[in-house]
């Protein structure tokens, strides 16, 4: 795949003017062969395997990026769900392994690692329970390690016992990292219908059906779409969709080239391009601004969900034509703290949690980087999680929640996480208890639409 002169000039413009970058090149590595009864032995095997396969990636990504004139924001690792590799089901075992993963990633120059994860949609093994118990400490004592749980699928329903455990571990993590704005919670996400080739943090993990090692790419690109819409000016909605599709095609084509070239130089398989629009707090690099350019006065106003639905669909259609394999989450992210227009609208009370929940029915993921008061009760947090996760179950789509009960903060205050994580207004949750429902526990049955055999 090669560029014409015109395409080269377009890429330069995207990079220099429209805030475009490849958000992440993520190497997925299986750790199944590192399982060991002795946690220290397992940790040693993990460290050796990660450094054997991963040491060349950060440098290779930089070389490819420099040769193409493209910015690559992050180099990341995704590993097999760690619940599968420590055969001694004790929380301490998993903390030991996580520390070695974190050390290896730091020494090699990776920004983040995903995969301190467990798949518990149908119930818990002893290993799953031990890993879940280890999550708060792990997110406190490591700097790059990220964690996720999958607690439901459209096929099997929603594990409410797992939702309750998740609410408890989020609260504990928030407390343990309270001196840093409860930032540990920013490294944890809970899913329904999680995908195993997602290159984005905090939910990345390397699925057991994937090859030994592979390269996946995640994109950015809201600024490219924003500029295209502004240049087109007034047009009807079908024409607007075409404008977005063409912009998405250009962005995805670059991601495909970067991913294939990195994989070729390393001699490992290329996996997928995740064509999600991933925003940053920087002006002009915002999904919220894209919605405003489409004609919505402020994110959260009536019509926001409809505009986001059009945007997400057009991004997927355009991106699919530009890559050999679309995967991951793919669509449009709406993380509150990472998007300048979303931050402003939430702070002013225009973008409420209820409106955000409605928007997640049509976007890529779900309620992302949402800050709530630190004293939010566990049962209300569990109900908040269950509401969002049920959207994914019923609609057969990936949904997720990355919520941060910021210790010591009240609704209306601001918490600053820095960097790409940005600033989050602490948003108010309705304090009416769902305890009588969520405390029943057990499994919410799958919807009738799950019967597809």
Asked whether residue 219 carries a pLDDT value surpassing 70, the answer given is yes
What mean pLDDT is predicted for residues 64-74?
A: 91
What mean pLDDT is predicted for residues 358-384?
A: 95
- Local confidence band at 382 (pLDDT 50, 70, 90 cut-offs): very high
- Local confidence band at 207 (pLDDT 50, 70, 90 cut-offs): very high
Task: Give the tens place of pLDDT for each residue, 97-123.
Answer: 999 999 999 999 999 999 999 999 999
Which domains are assigned to the chain? 216-433 (3.20.70.20)
Residues whose CB falls within 8 Å of the CB of residue 61, separated by 6 or more in sequence, listed in order: 25, 72, 75, 258, 262
How far is the C-alpha of 301 from the C-alpha of 305, rounded, in Å? 9
Helices (H), 85-159: 91-108, 126-141
Query: What integer best gives the mean pLDDT of the chain?
Result: 93
Task: Give the tens place of pLDDT for each residue, 395-411.
Answer: 999 999 999 999 999 99
Task: Give the tens place of pLDDT for each residue, 156-166.
Answer: 999 999 999 99
How far is the C-alpha of 268 from the C-alpha of 35, rounded, in Å? 23
Count of helices and strands (H, E) across the chain = 14, 14
H or E segment and range at residue 76: strand 72-79
pLDDT at 9: 53
Q: Are 295 and 233 in contact (CB under 8 A)?
A: no
Residues whose CB falls within 8 Å of the CB of residue 319, separated by 6 or more in sequence, listed in order: 219, 248, 249, 251, 252, 273, 275, 326, 330
- Local confidence band at 14 (pLDDT 50, 70, 90 cut-offs): low
């Amino acid at each position: 795949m090669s560029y014409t002169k015109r395409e080269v000039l377009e890429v330069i413009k995207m990079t220099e003017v429209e805030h475009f970058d490849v958000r992440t090149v993520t190497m997925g590595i299986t750790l199944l062969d590192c399982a060991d009864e002795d946690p220290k032995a397992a940790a040693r095997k993990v460290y050796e395997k990660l450094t054997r396969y991963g040491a060349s990636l950060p440098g290779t990504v930089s070389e490819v990026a420099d040769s193409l004139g493209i910015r690559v924001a992050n180099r990341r690792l995704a590993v097999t769900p760690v619940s599968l590799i420590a055969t001694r089901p004790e929380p301490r075992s998993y903390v030991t392994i996580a520390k070695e993963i974190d050390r290896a990633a730091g020494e090699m120059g990776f920004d983040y690692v995903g995969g301190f994860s467990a798949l518990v949609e149908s119930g818990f093994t002893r290993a799953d329970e031990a890993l879940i118990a280890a999550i708060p400490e792990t997110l406190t004592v490591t700097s790059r390690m990220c964690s996720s749980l999958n607690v439901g699928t459209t096929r099997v329903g929603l594990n409410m016992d797992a939702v309750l455990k998740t609410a408890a571990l989020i609260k504990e993590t928030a407390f343990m990292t309270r001196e840093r704005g409860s930032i540990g919670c920013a490294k944890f996400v809970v899913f329904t219908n999680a995908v195993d080739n997602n290159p984005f943090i905090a939910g990345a993990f390397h699925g057991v059906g994937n090859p030994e090692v592979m390269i996946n790419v995640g994109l950015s690109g809201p600024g490219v779409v924003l500029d295209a819409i502004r240049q087109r000016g007034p047009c009807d909605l079908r024409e607007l969709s075409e404008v977005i599709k063409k912009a998405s095609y250009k962005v995805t084509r670059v991601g495909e080239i970067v991913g294939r070239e990195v994989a070729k130089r390393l001699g490992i398989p290329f996996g997928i391009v995740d064509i999600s629009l991933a925003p940053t707090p920087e002006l002009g690099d915002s999904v919220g601004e894209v919605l405003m350019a489409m004609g919505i006065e402020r994110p959260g106003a009536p019509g926001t969900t409809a505009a986001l639905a059009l945007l997400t669909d057009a991004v997927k259609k355009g991106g699919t034509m530009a890559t050999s394999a679309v995967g991951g989450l793919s669509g449009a992210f709406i993380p509150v703290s990472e998007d300048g227009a979303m931050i402003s609208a939430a702070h002013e009370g225009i973008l409420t949690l209820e409106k955000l929940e409605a928007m997640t029915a049509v976007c890529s993921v779900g309620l992302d980087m949402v800050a709530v008061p630190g004293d939010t009760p566990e049962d209300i947090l569990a109900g908040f999680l269950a509401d969002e996760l049920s959207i994914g179950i019923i609609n057969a789509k990936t949904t997720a929640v990355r919520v941060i009960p910021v210790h010591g903060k009240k609704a209306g205050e601001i918490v600053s996480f820095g960097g790409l994580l940005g600033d989050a207004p602490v948003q108010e949750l309705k304090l009416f208890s769902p305890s009588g429902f969520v405390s029943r526990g057990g499994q919410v049955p799958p919807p009738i639409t799950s019967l597809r055999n």
